Structure formats: C-alpha cells, structure tokens
Amino acid sequence: DQQVKQNSPSLSVQEGRISILNCDYTNSMFDYFLWYKKYPAEGPTFLISISSIKDKNEDGRFTVFLNKSAKHLSLHIVPSQPGDSAVYFCAASGVESGGGADGLTFGKGTHLIIQP
C-alpha cells in the first residue's frame, strides 16, 4: 500500500540546469509534506516542507509546489549543483484528530545524479 509514490527511481540532470523531482500521494488526510535528502550511510536531512494551506514554498535554490487536487507535489532545484547528488525522499503526515505526533509516510526515493 504505497500512500506516497515517487515513480522515478533515478534522475540525471546536467549541472546548472533545473532538477524536478515528483511525488504523488493517495491519502487525502495528509496535510503536511516534506522533502529530505539522504547520502549513503547518513540519516535523512530535512530540506523543505509545505503545508496543505499553501501551494508553493521557496527556500534558496529549493522550491516545493503542491497541487492538492492532483495529490501531487514536486521539488525544484535550480541551479543544480554536484553536491545535490543524493537520494531525495518525499514524506507526508496528517494531523489526526486529538493531536499527537504523526509518523511520516515516506516514498521510496529518487536518486538524483548531477552530471558535471
């Protein structure tokens, strides 16, 4: 049961160009979305997040877009740099009624390779 899907296992982009990573979700209760970057043998590093009340959030070279009607979000990295080469995970959570700390539901990740 894949509630968060990242359909591209890998993506190769030339340095300086835009990288676009995509993520789809099926659970309409999700209302907070995050992108994490992961290098081998390290933990996920938080990059950027977006709440369902917004459709765009920007932080430096990173922008996340959310299309709630399509249950789709994307991460744009521009310009792409060699240090961006890593696995990128999309994650989602939904605040249950009554509060509490929701666990994140992760996608399988997309391996981004930045070509010099």
Asked if 95 interacts with other proteins (CB under 8 A), we say yes
- How much of the chain is helix, strand and coil, in % rounded to 5? 5, 50, 45
- The correct pick among 109, 110, 112, 114 for binding other proteins (CB under 8 A) is 109
Q: Which run of H or of E encompasses 19? A: strand 19-25
**Count of other CB atoms within 10 angstroms of residue 72:** 14
Q: Quick one: tokens of 110?
A: 């997309």
Asked if 100 interacts with other proteins (CB under 8 A), we say yes
**For residues 43-62, which are near other proteins according to CB under 8 A?**
43-46, 49, 51
Asked if 75 interacts with other proteins (CB under 8 A), we say no
Q: Where along the sequence are the contacts to other proteins (CB under 8 A)?
A: 31-32, 34, 36, 41-46, 49, 51, 89, 91, 93, 95-96, 99-109
